[in-house]
Structure 1
Amino acid sequence: MNRFASLLGRGIERVSASALGPYQTAVVRIGFAATWLLFLLRELPHRHELYGPDSPWSWDMARQLIAENDAFTALMWSDGRLWFEVVYALAVLSSALLMLGWRTRTMSVLFMIGVLSLQNRSIFMGDGGDNVIHLMATYLVFTRCGQVWSLDAWRAARARAAPARQEKAQEPGGKALEPVDKVGPALWWVLGLGLSVVTFMGELSGGWSLVFWGLWLTHGLWWAVGRRAPDGEARKLLDVIVKLTHNAALLVIMVEACLIYATAGWYKIQGSRWQDGTAIYYPLRLDYFSPWPALSDLLASHGLMVMLVTYGTVAVQVAFPFTLFNRRVKNVLLAAMIFEHAVIAVILGLPFFSLAMIAADAVFLPTSFLRRLGGWAARARGALFARFTRGRTVPGPRAQETEPARESTEHARVGFPS
């Protein structure tokens, strides 16, 4: 009993003292933001037919459906072409900035708004990966997904590594002046003004109004407490709440990924084509899923290969949630699933579905592998930087990548929550 209480105490201390999985949440952030951004850019010439005024699912039809299910989409605020272009452009911009990790807290909310606005406008557009993006865009709002590999982390590292610069800017009384974040408050006020206009116009339902106003006020409270009492009890309490929220959202992302594979695998078991080992054969014979006909024909012509891939897909999907208790087996199946999605992207021509699933799988990648991956990327970036700056004088030393601090590394200590 005492041992159980001790383990429980250590577990509670761990989830309340730090935001877990900084590298995993960073990969999930980059993966889903990049997937959605690439999709929006690829469909740029067809955006009006997919989600805009030329869509077969007309604006009036979408409005009738949303009146029943109370889904959120900013595209229902106006049926004008200009408003659609504004929303589409904001969706592209927020995706790019979230991928880069600029003001991740604000961009995660705007990213969610962009995803929900477009997908809920035309619910029949998508290939399955859109459902995963839809869910993960909501979960990312509650994570601290900019602790590493983000412009926010780079900005916070610079603030921590420049005490000498802060000592030079001193008040007459000798107190070091704290760095002032002007972009964050300006962004907060602009978004608050826009939210006030939308609320006054009655475009938000009660539930969504509560969600957006709650997020806006929470960001303001975080900044106010951090500005006035950065070492006070109120700030410590808020920090614990934020970490618990992050860890809970990370757990939900992991459970969601397991549910996707478990339900897909068990439904496949019930299908006769999956039972006799021929299910993979049929999509390979469809022109719609054959961007490389010669490659599809080659795979479909080998019955043994079709059977092995069919049974292997079911086995991996059903078994994966149970392998989380064994790290080595989990890593092997994780690599197999990522490879499988890469093959689906090429053979069946479903790149965005595969990218979305790979981004969801990334939450289970080992931290050691992700840190090595970050090291390789940093060295490649350094080599590229050195190649372009060869023969030039570069002022100042290069900033080195640091481990995420135990406290938040998304922002400077008195930086505005963004």
Structure 2
Amino acid sequence: MSTPSTPRTPDASGTPNTPGTPASEPPPSPFAGLGKKFDASLGRGIGHITRRALGPYQTAIVRIGFAATWLIFLLREWPHRSELYGPDSPWGWDMAQRLLADNGAFTVLMWSDSTLWFEFVYHAAIAASIGMLLGWRTRLMSVLFMLGVLSLQNRSIFMGDGGDNVIHLMAMYLVLTRCAQVWSLDARRRARPGRTDRADIVVWSVTGAALLASLVSGNLTSPVWSLFLTGLWLVFAGWWLLERYAPAGEPRTVADILGNLTHNATLLIIMFQVCLIYATAGWYKIQGSRWQDGTAVYYPMQLDYFTPWPMLTDLLSNSGLVVMALSYGTVFVQIAFLFALLNRRAKNVLLFLMIGEHIGIAVLMGLPFFSLAMIAMDAVFLPTAFLLWLGSRTGRVRDRLLRRPRPGGGAAPTGTAAPAGAAPGSVPSQLPIPPQAPRDTPAWADKP
């Protein structure tokens, strides 16, 4: 004989209560505990972007790439510098003045029409590129590098191509990054403890006097550029004062946090800029009928301006299959890159294909500086392990050329000790941490 079931008493909402469950206890919320998890994740994220500058090797290779590209361009065009940007340019002084009055672009070359002034600016741009390449006084060199790029390109704006536009943008972005943490003379100087660099006070005094003279003389008339350059000088000079007289105080800690935030935000902008360039280029290509039928690559190959190797160009353009593969492959790589960032391996494969594409453009179409600028821009997405391997091999080649043995048999990259029992020439499993200036970590950054 069956036992009668206990009837469920409905609560105020009309839902029967389970035996043994108090009528006043609500069911557990599916969002229980999410607030604490969110706070912990937010704290870890804030600590991650404030305690260190991310991507030290990526920003270093971007700095080296763009400085080298601009330096090689200036050296190659040195015999033709006057025709490109100087008094003998077909884009004359009066036309340049009228255009700059309309668009408000910045260039110090319009401060004087003297040939001596032009020669000084051109060779100062070369010197700034060398300093930027070596990472020597990088805070100052990044500003001078930017001024050199803007001054020359804005003087004769119709002389450039797409690569010049990329250099134009990246020269401004690099000013806001800490791109000399590794692979620079500044990093080597910081690694020597107990040494006081007395040249800094001379550097900031001279640059401050030059900035003041440009303001007083009336040459620097743009209020935007006046505030920007004055603000940069105050920030960089103030940073030097903190490093010199309060290296471990709270103001230095706050300055370090702000510097890391600025660097990381600018690094994100650089990555977004790369994605924007490729996404817009790919989607605009899709709308063109020549790209849709796979013949777009054929037509520039028939122009004498883009055929430095006519025999090689004819060999490729005479094959319809090759032309179709190059046309569709270009569109695929540019569009797929944005989505490939969601997967590390796919991103690395597409980076390899994109760099190969730019090398092909440099060789087949005679656009080496455009390709170098694009490769330097793509380098921001290179994996750290590959950059460490590249730095290790480059250091060994340098030591062999200079006939200088590495400490400890040359098994590890500079500044990294090889593990015990490691084979000669092996790359250490743990990645070296870039040198950081001593600082006090805020207590809240370590809280979960």
| Contact 2:395–2:414, Cα closer than 8 Å, also in 1 | no
* Structure-1 residue corresponding to 2:159: 125
Q: Tell me how far 1:9 sits from its aligned partner.
A: 2.0
* Structure-2 residue corresponding to 1:172: none
Q: Are 2:275 and 1:265 aligned?
A: no
* Structure-2 residue corresponding to 1:139: 173
TM-score computed with the length of structure 1 as normaliser: 0.89
Distance 2:112 2:304 in 1: 38
Point out 4+ residue stretches in structure 1 off by more than 3 angstroms: 402-406
Matching of residues 317-336 of structure 1 within 5 Å: 317-336=334-353
| Contact 1:147–1:408, Cα closer than 8 Å, also in 2 | no
2:103 maps to a residue whose letter is N
Within the candidate set 187, 197, 207, 1:181 is matched to 197
Distance 1:224 1:104 in 2: 16
* Structure-1 residue corresponding to 2:188: 154
Q: Are 2:243 and 1:226 aligned?
A: yes
Within the candidate set 89, 105, 110, 2:123 is matched to 89
Q: Tell me how far 1:155 sits from its aligned partner.
A: 1.2
Within the candidate set 277, 280, 301, 1:284 is matched to 301
Distance 1:310 1:240 in 2: 46
Q: Tell me how far 1:322 sits from its aligned partner.
A: 1.3
* Structure-2 residue corresponding to 1:256: 273
| Contact 2:274–2:377, Cα closer than 8 Å, also in 1 | yes
Identity of aligned residues (%): 63
Deviations 1:297-342 (A, max 9, x none): 0010000110011011001101101111100000000000000000
Instruction: Say which structure, 1 or 2, has more relative contact order (CA 8 Å, 6+ apart).
Output: 1
Matching of residues 1-400 of structure 1 within 5 Å: 1=34, 2-157=36-191, 159-160=192-193, 166=194, 179-204=195-220, 205-386=222-403, 400=414
Q: Tell me how far 1:192 sits from its aligned partner.
A: 0.8
- SS of 2:296's equivalent in the other structure is coil
2:234 maps to a residue whose letter is L
Distance 1:345 1:399 in 2: 31
* Structure-2 residue corresponding to 1:401: 415
Distance 2:433 2:74 in 1: 32
Q: Tell me how far 1:406 sits from its aligned partner.
A: 6.0
Provide closer, same or farther for how the CA distance between residues 365 and 405 of structure 1 changes in structure 2, counting only shifts above 3 A.
Answer: closer
| Contact 2:181–2:435, Cα closer than 8 Å, also in 1 | no
Deviations 1:266-320 (A, max 9, x none): 1111111111100000011111000000000001000011001101100110110
Alignment coverage as a number of residue pairs: 382
Structure 2, unaligned stretches of length 5 or more? 1-33, 406-411, 417-431, 439-448
| Structure showing greater Rg | 2
Distance 2:43 2:312 in 1: 56
Deviations 1:158-188 (A, max 9, x none): x13xxxxx5xxxxxxxxxxxx3212221111
- SS of 1:124's equivalent in the other structure is helix
Larger mean CA deviation between 306-315 and 65-74 belongs to: 65-74
Distance 1:123 1:368 in 2: 39
- C-alpha RMSD over aligned residues: 1.6
2:206 maps to a residue whose letter is V
| Contact 1:18–1:406, Cα closer than 8 Å, also in 2 | no
Larger mean CA deviation between 21-30 and 60-69 belongs to: 60-69
Q: Tell me how far 1:407 sits from its aligned partner.
A: 2.6
Distance 2:107 2:323 in 1: 42
| Contact 2:66–2:373, Cα closer than 8 Å, also in 1 | yes
Deviations 1:109-168 (A, max 9, x none): 0000000000000110112100000000000000011011111111111x13xxxxx5xx
| Contact 2:64–2:132, Cα closer than 8 Å, also in 1 | yes
Deviations 1:359-386 (A, max 9, x none): 0000000000000111111122222222
Distance 1:408 1:319 in 2: 39
1:60 maps to a residue whose letter is D
Distance 2:348 2:237 in 1: 41
| Contact 1:26–1:145, Cα closer than 8 Å, also in 2 | yes
1:188 maps to a residue whose letter is W
| Contact 1:22–1:404, Cα closer than 8 Å, also in 2 | no
2:347 maps to a residue whose letter is K
Larger mean CA deviation between 221-230 and 125-134 belongs to: 221-230
1:112 maps to a residue whose letter is M
Q: Tell me how far 1:399 sits from its aligned partner.
A: 10
Distance 1:146 1:200 in 2: 33
TM-score computed with the length of structure 2 as normaliser: 0.83
Q: Tell me how far 1:10 sits from its aligned partner.
A: 1.4
| Contact 1:265–1:315, Cα closer than 8 Å, also in 2 | yes
Deviations 1:185-229 (A, max 9, x none): 111111111111110111221110001110111111112222222
Distance 2:413 2:233 in 1: 33
Distance 1:383 1:7 in 2: 48
Distance 1:231 1:41 in 2: 43
| Contact 1:25–1:145, Cα closer than 8 Å, also in 2 | yes
